[in-house]
């Protein structure tokens, strides 16, 4: 039983690690998009607002933090509670 539970947790941890890597790649891409928008002279009307950029980056960072926090949870019940908390927080994101 413990072996099965350990294997399941390892699989979940690996999946979460992959998600963290994917989110970091997305964050890097969004940062590059923001820089590209800032470097376009004469197109100020099409610029992304600082508030929007902040919300995008903050959302990505919060998601990465929550995924890493979930990885530290070893008890299945606690893991489910963390998932519910993450779901509730992401409802309010842009």
State pLDDT tens for residues 19-68: 888 888 888 888 888 888 877 766 556 667 888 888 888 888 888 777 76
Give the domain range for residue 85.
Answer: 2-39+46-90
Q: Among candidates 1, 26, 12, 31, which has minimal Cα distance to 71?
A: 12
Q: What is the pLDDT of residue 94?
A: 42
**Number of separate domains in the chain:** 1
* Mean pLDDT value of segment 14-21: 88
Apex CA 11: angle with CA 5 and CA 14, to 5°?
140
């Amino acid at each position: 039983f413990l072996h099965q539970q350990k294997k399941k947790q390892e699989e979940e941890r690996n999946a979460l690690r992959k998600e963290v890597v994917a989110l970091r790649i997305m964050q890097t891409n969004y940062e590059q998009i923001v820089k590209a928008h800032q470097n376009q002279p004469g197109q100020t009307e099409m610029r992304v607002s600082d508030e929007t950029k902040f919300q995008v980056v903050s959302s990505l960072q919060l998601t990465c933090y929550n995924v890493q926090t979930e990885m530290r949870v070893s008890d299945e019940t606690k893991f489910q509670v963390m998932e519910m908390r993450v779901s509730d927080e992401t409802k309010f994101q842009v």
